[in-house]
Each structure stands twice: as structure tokens, then as C-alpha cells.
């Protein structure tokens, strides 16, 4: 016969051992589940890393250093012209381009493309310049042109034909194909995106993979993000033979496995976007 107190102690010990055993089993199950989840996550990361051409991890470096490799600044001028002054503007701007070309060696500046907007913001003209000396080169060029009487005269005359104008300094995405000037009869499309602040790295990671789906017809002309001016802006410029070619090229991209996923990942990053169809001016280096 076991005394009551001693019997209670044995019962309590048995109960505690039983609960500890169950807790150990539960803990083992939890750890096992965590291990499976981590393995699944590692597997997913490994699968994604194979798809990404270049993954950019968040660091303390400026986004521009991680997304762009070159010390080349692009200048995008947006000029809104009075409807009755388009021809005067184009003649004036062609003369401006010729003047800058004559001083190319000291200005380190060259025109990449000049386009009129035919679908989208009507009576609008875009001019894309390339500066090879970085921002120091831009400072130097601006000082030189500020003392050029012929340039100042052209600029003053041009002002009377404009409704408004806007300028952005851009950097090119490092994963985008190098800009190659086109010949022949082409149209261009500029797709401009306003991104949510803080999403530029994620955009770059997704498009480093997505651009590979848009190489079949060499339609990718240029990809930029804003550095000075309106921030968190992205501009993708595409080149097509005509509007029908644009339609077929875009539809063929949607038939490629993976393109829809890239679009699905980037859409939540966008605050606003718009598309414009561009025709090259006769003096545009790219046609």
C-alpha cells in the first residue's frame, strides 16, 4: 500500500514526463515543418536566381550605381509646340543640332534621337541627347553654350514657338542592350512609367529577366531611369517597322512562357504609365 502523498508525487511525475514527451514531439514536428519550409524557400530562391540575369540586392549604395554601369548621362527634352509653329520649331532645332555638332569635341555631347509624337501628347517633340563626360561634362557644356551668341539666338527664337518644355537627366539600365542607331523607315514607342518610391531595385531585378523575352525582333532601343527631374520615372523606348509590326511583336511576347509572370511582378510597382508613338524627324540620327 503506497501512502497517499507518495502516490500523488508518482502520479505528478508521470504526468509531467508524459507532457514533456508530448512537448518534445510537438517541438520536433515544428522544427521539421520549419526545415521543410526553409528548404522550399531555398529551392524557390535557387529557381528564381537561375532565371534572373542579374539580381541586384538592396545595399547602402545609391540605386544609380547598382542599376547603371556607365558614366554617361542622357538628356531627354520634352518640348510642347504651338500647333501652328511646328515647322518653324523643327527648322530651328535642326540648326541648333548642327551648331552643337560643329563643337562636338569640346562639348562631348551628341544627339541620339529626335521624334515627333504622333499618338499620345500631340504637338509634342522629344529630343534625346547623350553626354559622355558625366555631370561635370554637362556643367562644362552649359557654360560654353551660355557664351555662344548663335546658340543663344536660336534658343530665344525657339521660345516663341513653345507652349511648355521639360527636361530630365537619365541613366541607362545596365542590363538593357546598348543603343544601336537604326536605319530605314521605322516608328518608335516610348512607354513611360511612374514608379512607387523605393521600388526601382525590384523593377530592375524583374526587367533584367524580362528584357530577354523582347530580343527576337531587336525591338528594344533604350531603357532609362530618371536621375534629375521627375524622379522614379522609367522610360522604355522600342523600335518597330510600323504599327502592325508592333502589334505582332507584342503578341508574340505574350505567347512566350514567363513573360506574363514578369508583367505580373512589375504591375504592382507602377503608379502611372502612358505610351506615345513617335516618328523620327528628318535630322534624327536614329531613323
Any domain includes 195: yes
pTM (predicted TM-score): 0.77
Q: Assign 220 to helix, strand or coil.
A: strand
Asked if residue 134 lies in contact with residue 39, where contact means CB atoms within 8 angstroms, the answer is no
Between 6 and 148, the more confident residue is 148
Parent domain of 222: 72-280
Any domain includes 7: no
CA distance 162 to 77: 12
How many domains are there within the chain?
1
pLDDT at 265 over 80: yes
Closest alpha carbon to 108 in 76, 80, 72, 82:
72
pLDDT digits (tens, 9 = 90+) for 200-222: 999 999 999 999 888 878 899 99
Task: Tell how far CA 150 is from the center of its chain.
Answer: 36
What integer pLDDT is reported at residue 215 of this predicted model? 83
CA distance 245 to 248: 5
What integer pLDDT is reported at residue 22 of this predicted model? 44
Cell of 81: 509646340
Closest alpha carbon to 52 in 193, 161, 175:
175
Provide the terminal-to-terminal Cα distance of the chain, rounded to the nearest Å.
106
SS3 for 115-135, per residue? EEEEECCCCEEEEEEEECCHH
Give percent of the chain with pLDDT exceeding 90: 67
Any domain includes 44: no
Any domain includes 60: no
Q: Assign 59 to helix, strand or coil.
A: coil
pLDDT at 76 over 60: yes
Any domain includes 41: no
Any domain includes 39: no
Any domain includes 174: yes
Residue 9 phi, psi dihedral angles, 5° rounding:
-65, -45
Closest alpha carbon to 246 in 276, 222, 267:
276
What integer pLDDT is reported at residue 249 of this predicted model? 93
Cell of 107: 562639348
CATH code of 261's domain: 3.30.70.100
pLDDT at 12 over 60: no
Selection from 52-56, 180-184, 257-261 with the highest mean pLDDT: 180-184
Amino acid at each position: 500500500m503506497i501512502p497517499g502523498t507518495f502516490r500523488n508525487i508518482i502520479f505528478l511525475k508521470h504526468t509531467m514526463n508524459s507532457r514533456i514527451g508530448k512537448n518534445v514531439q510537438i517541438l520536433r514536428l515544428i522544427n521539421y515543418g520549419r526545415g521543410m519550409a526553409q528548404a522550399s524557400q531555398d529551392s524557390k530562391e535557387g529557381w528564381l536566381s537561375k532565371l534572373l540575369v542579374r539580381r541586384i540586392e538592396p545595399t547602402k549604395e545609391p540605386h544609380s550605381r547598382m542599376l547603371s554601369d556607365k558614366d554617361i548621362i542622357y538628356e531627354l527634352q520634352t518640348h510642347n509646340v504651338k500647333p501652328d509653329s511646328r515647322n518653324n520649331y523643327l527648322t530651328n532645332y535642326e540648326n541648333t543640332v548642327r551648331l552643337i555638332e560643329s563643337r562636338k569635341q569640346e562639348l562631348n555631347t551628341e544627339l541620339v534621337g529626335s521624334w515627333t509624337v504622333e499618338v499620345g501628347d500631340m504637338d509634342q517633340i522629344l529630343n534625346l541627347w547623350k553626354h559622355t563626360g558625366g555631370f561635370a561634362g554637362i556643367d562644362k557644356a552649359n557654360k560654353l553654350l551660355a557664351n555662344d551668341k548663335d546658340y543663344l539666338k536660336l534658343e530665344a527664337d525657339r521660345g516663341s514657338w513653345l507652349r511648355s518644355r521639360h527636361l530630365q537627366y537619365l541613366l541607362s539600365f545596365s542590363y538593357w542592350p546598348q543603343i544601336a542607331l537604326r536605319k530605314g523607315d521605322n516608328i518608335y514607342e516610348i512607354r513611360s512609367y511612374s514608379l512607387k518610391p523605393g521600388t526601382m531595385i525590384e523593377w530592375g531585378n524583374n526587367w533584367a529577366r524580362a528584357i530577354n523575352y523582347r530580343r527576337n525582333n531587336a525591338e528594344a532601343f533604350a531603357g532609362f531611369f530618371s536621375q534629375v527631374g521627375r524622379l522614379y520615372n522609367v522610360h522604355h523606348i522600342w523600335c518597330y517597322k510600323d504599327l502592325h509590326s508592333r502589334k505582332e511583336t507584342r503578341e508574340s511576347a505574350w505567347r512566350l512562357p514567363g513573360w506574363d509572370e514578369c508583367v505580373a511582378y512589375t504591375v504592382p510597382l507602377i503608379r502611372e504609365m502612358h505610351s506615345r508613338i513617335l516618328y523620327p524627324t528628318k535630322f534624327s540620327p536614329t531613323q
